Structure 1
Amino acid sequence: MINLYRIAFAVLVTIAGMGPVTAKPVSPLDVFYTVRAEDLAGAPGTLIRLAPIDILSVYRAKAYRILYVSRNLKGEKIGVSGMMVVSTLPGRGATRPVVAWAHATTGIAHKCAPSRRSDPLAIPGIKDMIAGGYTVVATDYPGLGTPGPVPYLIGLGEAQSVLDSVKAIRSLPEAQAGDAFVLWGHSQGGHAVLFAASLAKTYAADLKLLGVAAAAPATNLAALLHADVNTIPGRILAAMTLLSWSRNFGFPLDGLLTEDTVEVMEHIDKTCIDSLSGKLDALSAEQDLGAKYLNYDPGSRQPWRGLLADNNPFYGLITVPAFIAQGADDTLVRPEVTTGFVDSLCRSDKSVRYVTMPRVDHGAIADKSAAQAVAWMDERFRGVRAVNSCPR
């Protein structure tokens, strides 16, 4: 195992030998997220390093930061960070069930990685999963924590990082991880796990996916863009999406954005929204984004129209049971959009448990539905036949 403090000391010695510099001192945490060429020698899904997280909010569990090999959209190997929580309660055998968590939007800046937060374990249902003896792995996604553009609402980039996180922990004695796993995500993370479910059979053939659970997943992106374009949060998320797609695919934003929009987008690009203060900062920056912050509807022209279609989760490739939760008061991921996706799953003869919760908004749906989601996951691990709420 790599000694982070030794690496940090070596880096500081190297800097000291170069003469006076104005750079900030290198911390062990910064060193942890540093990806060198030699770190990428292994195949995607190879663990690079891990480090314990000393945190008091977790009872009867151990937590770790992890860094592992994955792929970017070009197929090149990259480093991706995340975290792992392992229950210390007795398991059900030689190995533990694994849940792969995919987080909701935190931003598209390098500093917005959940594993960098002061409390990185704010995973809905984590206490129930610890009580169940699970191992939970949670990717940051590429570009959050580690270098590179963030594949925000780009299904392939998100899905690969989720599945590779499950592969990475299997080599760890600390994880006690079996090959059976369930996917669980919220909002952007719901989008990620639905894509991961559709990719798992080919990308992670050595693993056994038992089900996918998603709270308010982003599905029909064009419909959500149209529905949310007149709301402050909707325009912020649209700005993040367009910036991410432009960076990842090389399509210029010239012509699509008004001149006033560019400066505001640059501010949003540096703002994390995983905390209340971050949300307020982003909302303050967005006040300059008027209703005419785009020169035209991205869904009306290429390449944006094609990207919106290509990054809709495809229900036809999901072969495992699904649990979908939706808040009735969600004004960001609209209930009618999620219901439309569930209807598509049902028409394709999938097993779906669809839970709608009155008076629950977008931010609360993952926490509110977590107990039901974990109970549903537990049934998958115990081999109970999934109850299908699709109309016969």
Structure 2
Amino acid sequence: MSTRKVVLAALKVSAVAVSALLSTSLLFTPISNAEPVNDFYDAIPGDVGDPGSVIRTEPLPLAGAVGGVPGVGTRIVYSSTDTHGSNVAVSGSYLEPAAPWSGAGPRPTVVIGPGTQGQGDQCAPSRMFPTAGQLRLAEPGNPSNYGAGVDSVGVNYESAFAFAFLAQGVRVFVTDYIGLGTPGIHTYVNRAEEAHAMLDGARAARALAKAGEDDPIALWGHSQGGGATAAATELAPEYAPELNLVGSYASAPPADLASVLRHIDGTGLMAAIGYTINGVLDRYPAAREPIESRLNDYGRSVLADVAGQCLIDSRTKYGKQSTASWTTDGRPLADVVESVPEIQQVIEEQRIGRRTPASPILVNGALNDDFIPYEQTRRLVQDWCARGAEATLFTDTLPAVNPGSGNNHLAPAVADFGVGLQYVLDRFNGKPLVGACNA
């Protein structure tokens, strides 16, 4: 299949997926809370080995493809490390393409970092590949915003992008990230943990494929996935130097959380601030008291609620609220972060751009992105270029539509997918870089 046809197919499916984020009109497979717990995702400490080692696998049916099943799926739990260096288990999806690889050299692998899915385990992409989406049914007597006893809606909108790569004969690995699917809190936008999950996912994929050490690998992601890709690319030389990482595509990466925090407050994605705080409270004990003492009862109830939600749940219930309603003094959290050193230190620790990628990377930023400010994306590329990296900035100029809704954040993921796909394929095929600094 030609690249153009693949891109058009991906755009068609992705448009449906993006629409699903803004409504709940799609049909999903019901998942009852009363069903037996699937212990596939559980891992005892003795199961967790060296980073990237495979703990367990099981067959993973694939749904939602255009033109038939594009390959064979395997659900996987693998080993990684958290921000403090402790071994942890992570889940993900390994997809082996049915199509042949017709490019240069051995068959390559792309590791996808998903965009924001939510913080509940039911939101993990590996749980949704069989159906493309799902509903979690509420317990009897538990009020629901969705009616009919439904309390959670998830959409695996990364599947369209994954299938487009499969159609090109490229292996795909989609990480769930630490704590999304597996036990424990999902440490949303934690720079080190997302980077580890992606790089160890590449190691696990190589083991499952029985690939050679020189087989090429690329990283890809939008939004949360763009941040994970950017963090993994700059951390790879020290964390996983043995990987043959030939290129990365980071779209709308949240590289500067302080900037993003102020930008998304009051938008449709504001509940993601709650995901972030929940992860910080779990991983950074020194920041717990300074944060919790500044939250009012409503703020604490929101954090507890979003910890079990998928993105559509959070958008529906808390979208376009202000975090000023969460704090004891009525200030938005961005102001609180700036005034409390213990919190500011944690946020600064997540900053991307302070290490030097050893492989090329294309960064996509949209001028009118209503979730990820363009200026911090441009600065990320400037920081890398100053360090000697081979980085390229692609600027999306789509006009703003209904600012604050997320349209101007989601549309570039679809409209510019072909740009990212072609960039990755060019790296796999060893083509010269065009427009990169220091190339």
TM-score range, shorter chain: 0.7 to 0.9
**Pairing 1:217-296 to 2, within 5 Å after superposition:** 217-229=253-265, 231-233=266-268, 235-250=270-285, 251-252=287-288, 253-273=291-311, 275=312, 279-283=315-319, 289=325, 292=331, 294=333, 296=335
Map of 1:100 onto structure 2: 111
Q: 1:390 to 1:190 in 2, by over 3 A?
A: same
1:132-177 deviation line (CA, Å, top 9, x unaligned): 2111101101111001222212111111111111111222248799
Map of 1:76 onto structure 2: 86
One-letter code aligned to 2:228: A
Task: State the alpha-carbon separation in 2 of the partners of residues 317 and 352 from structure 1.
Answer: 10
1:309-366 deviation line (CA, Å, top 9, x unaligned): 1111125421221111122321110112212222223333432332222226112222
Q: Tell me if 1:49 matches 2:56.
A: yes
Percent identical: 26
One-letter code aligned to 2:98: T
Q: 1:111 to 1:286 in 2, by over 3 A?
A: farther
Map of 1:326 onto structure 2: 365
Q: Is the partner of 1:74 in helix, strand or coil?
A: coil
Q: Tell me if 1:116 matches 2:127.
A: yes
Q: 1:204 to 1:316 in 2, by over 3 A?
A: closer
**Which deviates the most, 192-201 or 345-354?**
345-354
Task: State the alpha-carbon separation in 2 of the partners of residues 289 and 175 from structure 1.
Answer: 52
Q: Tell me if 1:305 matches 2:313.
A: no
Map of 1:13 onto structure 2: none
8 Å contact from structure 2 (residues 97, 171) kept in 1: yes
Q: Is the partner of 1:96 in helix, strand or coil?
A: coil
8 Å contact from structure 2 (residues 381, 392) kept in 1: no
Map of 1:91 onto structure 2: 101
**Which deviates the most, 84-93 or 243-252?**
84-93
Q: Give unmatched runs, 5+ long, in structure 1.
A: 1-22
User: How far did residue 391 of structure 1 move?
Assistant: 10
Map of 1:363 onto structure 2: 410
Map of 2:71 onto structure 1: 61
Map of 1:8 onto structure 2: none
1:48-93 deviation line (CA, Å, top 9, x unaligned): 1222222342333122211111112232222110101221112258
Q: Is the partner of 1:377 in helix, strand or coil?
A: helix
Map of 1:147 onto structure 2: 183
Q: TM-score, normalised by structure 2?
A: 0.76
| Corresponding residue to 2:41 among 17, 33, 43 | 33
8 Å contact from structure 1 (residues 67, 79) kept in 2: yes
8 Å contact from structure 2 (residues 252, 372) kept in 1: yes
Quote the RMSD (CA, aligned, Å).
Answer: 2.8
Aligned residues: 364
One-letter code aligned to 1:54: P
8 Å contact from structure 1 (residues 65, 82) kept in 2: yes
Q: 1:206 to 1:26 in 2, by over 3 A?
A: same
Map of 1:339 onto structure 2: 378
Which structure is richer in relative contact order (CA contacts within 8 A, separation 6 or more)? 2
One-letter code aligned to 2:64: S
8 Å contact from structure 1 (residues 100, 182) kept in 2: yes
Task: State the alpha-carbon separation in 1 of the partners of residues 63 and 35 from structure 2.
Answer: 27
Map of 1:387 onto structure 2: 434
8 Å contact from structure 1 (residues 258, 295) kept in 2: no
One-letter code aligned to 2:112: W
User: How far did residue 284 of structure 1 move?
Assistant: 8.4
Q: 1:236 to 1:39 in 2, by over 3 A?
A: same
Q: TM-score, normalised by structure 1?
A: 0.84
Map of 1:203 onto structure 2: 239
Task: State the alpha-carbon separation in 2 of the partners of residues 166 and 180 from structure 1.
Answer: 10
Task: State the alpha-carbon separation in 2 of the partners of residues 284 and 195 from structure 1.
Answer: 28
User: How far did residue 294 of structure 1 move?
Assistant: 4.2
8 Å contact from structure 2 (residues 217, 245) kept in 1: yes
**Which deviates the most, 295-304 or 277-286?**
277-286
**Pairing 1:152-231 to 2, within 5 Å after superposition:** 152-173=188-209, 179-229=215-265, 231=266
